[in-house]
Amino acid sequence: MRINVRKKRDLYYRARLRLVKGFFIRNFVYFSMVVFVVIAGFGTLKLYKFVRTNEYFAVKRINVFGIKNAYSEDIIGLSGISIGDNIFSFSSDMVAEQIKSHPWVKKVIVKKHLPDRVSIEVVEYRPVIFINFSQLYLVDENAVVFKRLEANELFDFPIISGISKEDYLSKTEFFRQKIMTIFDIASKFERLFPHISISEIVLEKNGDITIISTKNSFEIRLGQGDYEKKLSILEVMLSHMKSLSINPEIVYLDINREGIYMMKTKQRR
- Same domain as 76, residue 181: no
Q: What is the pTM of this model?
A: 0.77
- Same domain as 179, residue 105: no
Q: How many domains does the chain have?
A: 3
- Same domain as 170, residue 73: no
* Domain span holding position 102: 55-124
- Same domain as 161, residue 119: no
Give the chain's mean pLDDT. 85
The Cα 106–Cα 123 span in angstroms is 6
Q: What is the pLDDT of residue 51?
A: 64
Q: What is the pLDDT of residue 231?
A: 93
Residue that finishes a domain, picked among 75, 95, 124:
124
Q: What is the pLDDT of residue 269?
A: 47
- Same domain as 217, residue 175: yes
The full DSSP string for 73-95 is: HHHHHHHT--TT-BTTSS-HHHH
- Same domain as 20, residue 100: no
The full DSSP string for 161-224 is: ES--HHHHHHTHHHHHHHHHHHHHHHHHHHHH-TTS---EEEE-TTS-EEEEETTTTEEEEEES
Residue 78's CATH number: 3.10.20.310
Q: What is the pLDDT of residue 140?
A: 97
| Run means of pLDDT, 10 residues per run, the chain, 269 residues | 56 58 55 54 59 86 97 97 95 97 98 96 98 97 96 94 96 96 95 93 94 87 91 89 83 69 59
The Cα 39–Cα 47 span in angstroms is 12
- Same domain as 133, residue 250: yes
Q: Is 15 helix (H, G, I), strand (E, B) or coil?
A: helix
